[in-house]
Structure formats: C-alpha cells, structure tokens
Amino acid sequence: MQTTFTHHQSAHCENGVASNLLKNSGLNLSEPMVFGIGSGLFFVYLPFIKVNYAPAISYRTLPGQIFNKVASRLHLKIKRQKFSSVSNANKALDENLKNNIPTGLQVGVYHLSYFPDEYRFHFNAHNLVVYGKTETDYLISDPVMENVTTLTHDELDKVRFAKGAFAPRGQMYYPINIPTTVDLKSAIIKGIKNTCRDMLAPMPIIGVRGIKFVSRQIRKWPVKHGTKKANHYLAQMVRMQEEIGTGGGGFRFIYAAFLQEASVILNNEELKNLSKEMTQIGDSWRDFAVEASRIYKNRSAKEDAYNTIADELLSIANREEIFFKKLKKAIS
C-alpha cells in the first residue's frame, strides 16, 4: 500500500515535513516560506535545563509550533492526534495510508536505524512522513535525508513511542482542509512581526537579550566550571547551532532565503537588502562556530580565548538587535 507522495530533501525536519505535506496537497510552499511564516527563528537560553549535561540553548521555537502557526496564518486545517496505546496508533496510521493520506509523525531519533550511530541521541522532536506500508516495512520520507528510506514495523513503534522530554506519544498529523486560495501576503507579515517580537522580547533569556546573556556567561564558564566543562558547553552550543536541521548559521540562512522570497511576493525592495544583511549575520555565526571549535579542539583554556568569542557573540547580538528593529519598520 502506497500513497502518492514526492520526497524533497530539506534542511530542517519540521519545515521539511510541513512543506512536503502541503506540496502534496497542492499548496506549493517552499521550506524557507514555511519557516518564515511559522516564525521558526528564535533564540532561548535555559541554563536550568540540561541537555547532554550542558545548558539548553535553542535557535528555534518549540516543536510543532512552526506548522501550527503556518496553519493558522494561512487558514489551513491540520489534524493532530496523540495516542496512549501502540495498537491504536498503528490502526490510525494504517487507516490513513489506506485512504491515500501521507502522514507526518513526531518521532524520537535514538531508534532511527537509518541514522548514523553518532547522530542517534535521545532527541524526541524529529519529524518524518510515512507514505506507505509493505508486509514488513513502513515507507519513510525523512526530509533531512537525500532519499526515501524504510523502517520495520517494530522500529516505527519504537520511534513513535520514544520516552523522555517531548515524548511524541505516537503523535501524527496531516492537513485535512486546504483552501484553494491563500493570502500569502498577510501571513508573511504576521510571521515577520512575530519573529521581530520574539527576538526583541524584553526577557533576559530570549532573543537578542538571550544572546547577550550567553555572551556574559561564556566569559564566566572557564572560571566557574573549569576548562573541561566549559569546552563541553561550547561544543554543545555549536552543535545546536550547526547540526543537521539548521541549514547553517543557526537558521539564519534559511531566514535570509525566506526574506528574499518575501521581498518578491510583497514587492518590497527593503526586504531584499535585509536578506543580504541576514546572510552576513549568518556568516558571522559561522565564524563564531569556527572560533569556538578552535578552543575545544586545542583544549586551550586561556581565559582570553573565551573573552574573544564572547565579544564576537556580543557583536552579533548588537547587529541582530539593529537588524530586527529595521525589519519591523520595513513591513509596518
């Protein structure tokens, strides 16, 4: 049993699934568009939550939010279901496949057998599409992979019912109603406004102020935690910023691509310039990652090195502050 579905590779799993499912339903929305309208760009620093024994830093909003925001801003109807029993979850999925509905799933990464071992961590906010089923396997379109792949029935049960933070509880979702005409312009403006609000939020751990906070903390890390831990924290931060799924530079390049597309749709020349500026900021994030990697590669614990990258981070934060203020003006 196989539904009609075309796989497109994307940088980030959630945008990718959303974009692929919508394309399949006849709404041609690119990955950057989904990311921008869904206000995916974010920054939050949560020192009191530890992920892999390091403070949690996220460059994006909570899982599920991007697609939900896209749906509400474009007036699409998405159905989401969670299950407490494995057999009910399977029944619902099989029913969908029978009705030719490719279905998005939230899954845990740890048991994904087609991922390289090094990437299999207990991270539960991954997304993929199931588009068919055979006697032994489910046919999987994982948007971060170049090609489609498969999981056995048992493996799919395991990833759907992975445990821990953000446990997916078998969550599946699919569009049930897509209007024939959508108002992209107003959705884009809403998306941009939301992102500007988030990034300029008057909260110390969020957005631009969050980045500045991290920059202050980095200076203290080697003294407070010792070199080894400080290096580990830094490495984790770079992984969050650059690992598969961000499209590079902590999502900045995807966002710049979105602004470029938006400038055409809104016929707004200023957005094109801002897209270029965002690209440069993204390049600075890449430079930051290179500098940080030098520190944890050499295991040098010169306090100076930490101060240097903290300065670099601060300058990025200052540039982003100016950037988002300009962006807010450009669409108002």
Partner 1 sequence: MEKEKVPQDKGNLTQNNLKELVYATDENGNYTTALSTGWEPKTIALSNSIEEINERIAEARQQVENGEVSPICYFMEVNKMDLTILSSYVGLWKWRVKRHFKPAVFAKLNDKTLQKYADAFGISIAELKNSKTI
Binding site for partner 1 (CB under 8 A): 9-11, 32, 52-53, 110, 116, 118-122, 144-146, 163-165, 167, 231-232, 235-236, 238-239, 242-244, 247-249, 253-254, 256-257, 260-261, 275-276, 279, 282-283, 286, 289-290, 292-293, 296-297
Q: How far is the CB of 252 from partner 1 (least distance, A)?
A: 9
Cβ-based nearer residue to partner 1, 120 or 325: 120
Cβ-based nearer residue to partner 1, 202 or 299: 299
Q: How far apart are CA 179 and CA 91, in angstroms?
A: 28
Q: How far is the CB of 2 from partner 1 (least distance, A)?
A: 24
Q: How far apart are CA 201 and CA 194, in angstroms?
A: 10
Written as one letter, the residue type at 18 is A
Q: How far is the CB of 290 from partner 1 (least distance, A)?
A: 5
Q: How far is the CB of 163 from partner 1 (least distance, A)?
A: 4
CA dist 306 to 124, 164, 227, 302, Å?
32, 33, 10, 7
Q: How far is the CB of 263 from partner 1 (least distance, A)?
A: 11
Cβ-based nearer residue to partner 1, 24 or 124: 124
Q: How far is the CB of 244 from partner 1 (least distance, A)?
A: 5
DSSP letter (8 states) at residue 273: H
Contact residues for 42 (Cβ-Cβ < 8 A; gap 6+): 58, 59, 60, 61, 195, 198, 199, 206, 207
Region of residue 303 (phi > 0: left; psi between -120 and 50: alpha; otherwise: beta): alpha
Record the tokens describing residue 214, joined without a space: 């991290």
Cβ-based nearer residue to partner 1, 22 or 289: 289
For 214, other C-beta atoms within 10 Å of its C-beta total 22
Cβ-based nearer residue to partner 1, 33 or 71: 33
Cβ-based nearer residue to partner 1, 8 or 77: 8
Instruction: Give the burial class of 165: count Cβ atoms within 10 A of its Cβ; 0-12 exposed, 13-18 middle, 19 or more buried.
Output: exposed
